[in-house]
Structures are given as structure tokens and as C-alpha cells.
Amino acid sequence: MWQTWQLAVGQAGGGGFSSMLWIIPVVVVVLILIVNSARVIKEYERGVVLRFGRFHKVKDPGFRLILPWIDRMTKIPLRVVTMDVPDQEVITRDNVSVKVNAVIYFKVMDPKKAFIEVEEYLKATHQIAQTTLRSVLGQAKLDELLSEREKINSELKTIVDGLTEPWGVQVTAVEIKDVELTETLIRALARVAEAEREREAKVIHASGELEASEKLAEAAGVLSTQPAAIQLRYLQTLVEIAAENNSTVIFPLPMDIIKPLLDMIDKKKSN
């Protein structure tokens, strides 16, 4: 009887273990499903989900689940992107060849459009910035390019932003970093600047001469009405000359000063 009981227990235990074997593949399948469906979206990202190739929804940041093998999710970053525009050969409106490089700042405002409307929004924005830079700078003169950079930056930003808006991309700024001139052009600009400074100096000198002549004419008019003032001016000039140089100065004595003395001498002689 003891042997019979052991045999029954053994049969019952073996049957229970074999009945539990089906749980193992289920657990494996569930784990595979979780691994393939779990996604973590960072705060600065959004997840664009396609279901059977069609747009389904945009998922917000956090732990998110998708249907494996049915849904496909692509993460689109929303942070501002800083992208260098390499040197571009530009011929300005006055036929001057220069090299210009710039930097563009942009960010994705609509993840759905950035993923669906354009194949690679980063590459597309970069190419648009290059072509627009050459086009806009080719319509400006060299002086405008050097002196009105803020105006040109604003124009570049407006044009590029208008072209990328259908892609859900907003351009926040376009800045020209450097304008490279040839050595010959630099020397020519230096000569022009020097000539301009000389012209301004001559104009200022001529203006000073004209103003001085006008004042001298006014002074001569005043002195002509006062003969005594002229004599005082003579004496003042002598004082200035004597103070600067040790010299002997001979000048004629005005007759109106000695005339009274000559009259007295003539009266005495007549008496």
C-alpha cells in the first residue's frame, strides 16, 4: 500500500510540472512584446508615430508604448539647432568677388511636418541657407555688405524662414560671420579710404580759410574807421615780435603822432 501511494504522488507531481511548461513561452513572448513596444521620449523630443505607413499621432515626452511591428516611431528634437554655412563664393552687385560664411539658428515647431513634408529637414534647411545667402548677397554692393550687415541678416532670416515654414521649421536668426576680401581689394579699399580722408581734410581746411577771411574782412572794416586802433594794433604786434625774438625792429612813425610837435616848431621859427 505504501508503494501504491508513492506511485500516485509521483504521477500527480509529474503531471503538474508538465502542465506549467506552457507558461514559459508566454512569458517570453510578453517580454519580447514589451521590449519592442516600450519607448522613452525625452523632454526636448516628440515622437512621430506611423501606423501601417500612415500618420497616427505625435507622442509627448515620457514612457510610451507602441504596437510592435505595426507602429513605427521616429523621434524629432525640438531644441534650437546651430548650423554653420560654409564659405560661399559671392559676386556682389558691383562685380566684386568675396567669400562669405554664416551661421543659422532654427528649430522644429511642427514635428509632423518636419517628418512628413521633407525627407531630411536638417539637410534641406542647410541647402536653403546656402542658396539664399548667395542670392541675397549677390544683389548687394560691397559697401552695403560691409556696413549694413544687420539689415542683410534680417533679410536672410525672413527669406529662409518663409521657405522652411511649410516644413514646420522656424528660423530664429541668420548671422553673417565673416567677409573675406582679397589682398588686392583690401589695398584698393585702403587707398579709397585714404583719399576720402584727404578730401575731408581739404574741405575742412578750405572752410577754415573762408571763415578766417570773413573775420579778417570784418576786422579791417572796423579798424579803417578808427585810425588810433590801427596804431594800437601796430604796437601790439611789436610786443609779440619782441617777446618771441631778440631783434631790432625799425618801423615808420605815423605823421599824425608827431604833427603837433612839428607845428610847434614851425610857430617858433616864424616868431
Run of H or E residues at 113: helix 111-116
Across the beta sheet with 54-59, the strand order is 54-59, 45-51, 71-77
pLDDT of residue 116: 92
Residue 268 has pLDDT above 50, yes or no: yes
Buried b or exposed e, range 137-158, using 16+ CB within 10 angstroms: beebebebbeeeeeebbebbbe
Average pLDDT over residues 247-256: 62
Q: Name which of 116-120, 194-198, 201-205 the model is least confident about.
A: 194-198
* pTM for this prediction: 0.61
| Residue pair 107/172 in contact by the 8 Å Cβ criterion | yes
Cell readout for 119 is 525627407
Distance from the first to the final alpha carbon of the chain:
196
pLDDT tens digits, one per residue of 116-160? 999 899 999 999 999 998 888 888 888 888 888 889 999 999 999
pLDDT of residue 8: 47
pLDDT of residue 172: 92
The per-residue pLDDT of the chain, averaged, comes to: 78
Residue 7: pLDDT band (50, 70, 90) is very low
Residue 1 has pLDDT above 50, yes or no: no
pLDDT tens digits, one per residue of 51-101? 988 998 999 998 888 888 888 999 999 999 999 988 888 888 888 888 888
Long-range contacts of 155-159 (CB under 8 A, 24+ apart): 156/102, 156/129, 156/132, 159/132
pLDDT tens digits, one per residue of 35-52? 778 888 999 999 999 998
φ, ψ at 193 (rounded to 5°): -65, -40
**Which residues sit opposite 103 in a β-bridge?**
84, 175
- Higher-confidence residue of 208 and 229: namely 208
Architecture of domain 81-186: 2-Layer Sandwich (3.30)
**Residue of 115, 118, 106, 46 lying closest to 75 (CA atoms):** 46
Residue 9: pLDDT band (50, 70, 90) is very low
Residue 112 has pLDDT above 90, yes or no: yes
Single-letter amino acid, residue 28 = V
Average pLDDT over residues 162-176: 92
